Amino acid sequence: MRSRSLIRLAITVCLATIVVWGMLGTTANDADRLANLSAQVACPVCENSVADSQAAYARNIRTYIATEIAEGQTDRQILDGLANSFGEEIILDPPTSGFGLWLWVAPGAVILLGFWAIGSLRRTSGAEGP
């Protein structure tokens, strides 16, 4: 019984090592970063993502992002620069702080409130009985 536990522990440690090694060993190349950032930015002309838009404005923003990546800017710095230039509306994903936090939390809160309301209605209707 003890040998099975040791074997399971060894297998778990090996698998965890492989997963961690894979996570640490992969870095996004510039093309992946450009694609990822372009998908997070809205085109001011057509309101699609810059990655999906063929408008001249979108091409200019993709060029700007590529230039910033080549200069060594972080993703956050690039997105902040675009938000400062065009306003927060250009970023498709709302921020996870301030008012943007409510945009992330509200759907879950509404679902939980709905489950609570349904549960309380069932308890109330079940308690009345014939």
Q: What is the DSSP string of 59-112?
A: HHHHHHHHHHHHTT--HHHHHHHHHHHH-GGGBSSPPSSTHHHHHHHHHHHHHH
Question: Which of 29-33, 80-84, 89-93, 103-107 is predicted with the least confidence, judged by mean pLDDT?
Answer: 103-107
What's the pLDDT tens digit per position in 68-99?
999 999 999 999 999 999 888 888 876 665 66
Amino acid at 23: M
Contact 77/68 with Cβ under 8 angstroms?
yes
In the chain, what are the domain boundaries?
Answer: 2-93, 95-130
pLDDT at 51 over 80: yes
Spatial separation of the C-alpha atoms in residues 122 and 33, rounded to whole Å: 50
**Residue 16 pLDDT grade (very low, low, confident, very high; cuts 50, 70, 90):** low
| Domain spanning 2-93: CATH 1.10.8.640 | yes
Q: Which residue has the higher pLDDT, 47 or 39?
A: 39
pLDDT at 127 over 60: no
